[in-house]
Each structure stands twice: as C-alpha cells, then as structure tokens.
C-alpha cells in the first residue's frame, strides 16, 4: 500500500523556486532518510507534501486529503520541539489521540491503551506525571515521538528529530523508527547525520540542486560522486561486521 505519493511536485517560496519535478513514493515498512545540504528544501518538501505549504504544480496524496483524513494518515513532528505549556507527559502523548476523540473530549479506554502503549514504547513511564516542557531535550524528543506514535498513523514524518540530541538519544530515536518500520509503519525522517542515516535507514532520498538527485538504498545514494556533488565532501564508507559505517572526511 502506498502511504505517500508525490508526483512532479514543485514549490516556489517568495518568488524563489525551491525545487521542482519531485516524485516520490513511500510504501509500508520503510524508514526513508531525507538528506541534503542546508537550504536544499528538506523541510519545505515535507511541509508541502503535508499540504501545509501551497504547491505550485504537481500532486501530493496527503495534501489532497481533508484535514480529518490526513490526521489519520500521517503524523507530523516539526523540527521545533514545541511544548507551549507545562502539561504532564501523559496529557502531551494523549494529544496524539485528538483526531479520534468524541466531541466530549473524554478519552475512551481503547484510546487510553494506545496512549499507555506509546508511553511504554518510549520508556516514559517514570515521566508520566512530569511537566513535559521542563524535561531535558532528549526526554522532550521522546515524549513528542510518543505523541506522534499515539496518533497511530501508517506514516510518520519527522523533521530533524535527532538534531541536538546526545549520541545515546540519537541512536535510540533512529532505532524506534527502524522498529516501527519492522512493524509495517513507515517513517520519512530528515537528518544531517549521514552516519546514522547509513546505519538505520532502509532507503535514502538525496535532495539537492532543486530536485531529487538520488533515491535508493543507502549504499547507492552515499557514493563518492553524489557526496561530492551534493555536499562537497569526501567520505569513508565501509560495510563492517557491526553494520555499515560511514564517516565524512574532508571538504572538497
């Protein structure tokens, strides 16, 4: 089943074309890493795919949906980890159930189970009653992922979720997405850490030069030629006994 389908998508912001001719399909059980240099339009691509930005031409399956349908098709985690009020973690995670709740706002037992599951999945039990806005950055990131998971959508889109996290939290976060993929739920994640992208993603999309430069398995995208062209760096890339290892080396 196709969870996201972009056809010949083009976006112009403030009279500046950001990208054009973007076509992309995401199916079940994928962890797709969206990589590209600063300013390539990764955030713009995700937001326009969601229908949060006006599209000049082309189509996005998500943008074509009604807001209610979209809320059941995709969960979105913006880059800014915004938690405006000191709500308890449990309440924060419960926000993921908003699209499903009855008018009264009461949380039915089935929904509460999903909330509890998401909290347990991210290991947040001990923070359940703590004010989410007062947690550390890593804990906040986990709480927000739990919120997105509680939304229980087949697709999760997340913008640089591991930026600013310590290595343990970075790895744990990518493992959560990989685990979701193994259970059939797909994630489109934008990130700058090519090493983590190489290790955890099932597929990489390289956005550069106003369009998709490459789309495929990590080893097919992270080639010397493409890296030099898109990022202007050299890298060391090796398949080891503990998985693929990728390390950028020099600026060309």
Partner 1 sequence: MRLFLILATLVTVLFAVSLTIGPAETGGLQSLAALLTGSDGPLPMVMREIRLPRALLAALIGGGLGMAGAALQGYLRNPLAEPGLIGVSGSAAFGAVLALQAGLTATATLGLPLAALLGAVVGVFLVMGLAGARGGSLTLILAGIAISALAGALTSLVLNLSPNPFAANDIVFWMMGSLADRSMTHLWLALPFIVIGAGLLASTARGLDALTLGEDAAETLGLSLSRLRLLVVLGTAAIVGGATAVAGSIGFVGLVVPHILRPFVGAQPSRLLWASALGGAALLLMADISVRVILPDRDLKLGVVTALIGAPLFLHLIFKTRRELP
Residue 147 lies near partner 1 (rule: CB under 8 A): yes
The DSSP line for 158-214 is EESTTTT--HHHHHHHHHHHHHHHHTT-EEEEE-S-HHHHHHH-SEEEEEETTEEEE
For partner 1, the closer CB: 30 or 90: 90
Strand-pair partners of 251 = 233
Residue 87 lies near partner 1 (rule: CB under 8 A): yes
Site residues (CB under 8 A) for partner 1, limited to 10-49: 47
Chain centroid to Cα 93, Å, comes to 17
Q: Which of 85, 238, 241, 242 binds partner 1 (CB under 8 A)?
A: 85
Q: How far is the CB of 91 from partner 1 (least distance, A)?
A: 6
Residue 75 lies near partner 1 (rule: CB under 8 A): yes
The closest of 187, 182, 196, 205 to 244, measured between CA atoms, is: 196
Q: Which of 29, 37, 58, 78 binds partner 1 (CB under 8 A)?
A: 78
Q: Which residues contact 105 (CB under 8 A, 6 or more apart)?
A: none
CA distance 178 to 175: 5
Q: What tokens were used for 174?
A: 């990518």
Which span sits near partner 1 by CB under 8 A: 14-22, 143-151, 174-182, 189-197?
Answer: 143-151
Q: How far is the CB of 159 from partner 1 (least distance, A)?
A: 9
Which span sits near partner 1 by CB under 8 A: 97-105, 106-114, 195-203, 229-237?
Answer: 97-105
Which span sits near partner 1 by CB under 8 A: 21-29, 94-102, 187-195, 231-239?
Answer: 94-102
Each residue of 99-128: b (16+ CB within 10 Å) or e?
Answer: bbeeeeeeeeeebeebbeebbebbebeebe
For partner 1, the closer CB: 143 or 222: 143
Residue 95 lies near partner 1 (rule: CB under 8 A): yes
The answer to whether the CB of 225 falls within 8 A of the CB of 214 is no
Q: Return residues touching partner 1 (CB under 8 A).
A: 47, 50, 52, 67-68, 70-71, 74-78, 80, 82-88, 91-92, 95-96, 98-99, 101, 105, 131, 144, 147, 151
């Amino acid at each position: 089943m196709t969870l996201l389908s972009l056809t010949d998508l083009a976006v112009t912001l403030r009279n500046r074309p950001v990208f054009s001719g973007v076509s992309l399909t995401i199916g079940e059980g994928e962890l797709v890493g969206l990589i590209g240099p600063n300013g390539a339009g990764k955030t713009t691509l995700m937001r326009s795919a969601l229908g949060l930005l006006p599209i000049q031409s082309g189509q996005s399956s998500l943008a074509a949906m009604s807001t209610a349908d979209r809320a059941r098709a995709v969960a979105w985690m913006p880059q800014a980890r915004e938690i405006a009020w000191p709500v308890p973690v449990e309440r924060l995670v419960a926000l993921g159930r908003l699209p499903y709740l009855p008018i009264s706002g009461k949380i039915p037992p089935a929904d509460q189970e999903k909330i509890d599951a998401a909290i347990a999945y991210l290991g947040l039990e001990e923070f359940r009653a703590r004010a989410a806005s007062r947690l550390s950055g890593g804990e906040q990131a986990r709480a927000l992922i739990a919120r997105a998971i509680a939304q229980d959508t087949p697709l999760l889109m997340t913008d640089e979720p591991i930026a600013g996290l310590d290595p343990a939290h970075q790895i744990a976060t990518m493992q959560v997405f990989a685990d979701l993929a193994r259970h059939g739920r797909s994630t489109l994640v934008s990130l700058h850490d090519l090493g983590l992208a190489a290790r955890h993603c099932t597929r990489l999309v390289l956005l550069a030069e106003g369009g998709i430069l490459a789309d495929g398995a990590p080893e097919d995208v992270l080639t010397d030629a493409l890296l030099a062209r898109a990022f202007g760096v050299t890298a060391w890339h090796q398949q080891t006994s503990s998985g693929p290892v990728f390390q950028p080396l020099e600026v060309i």
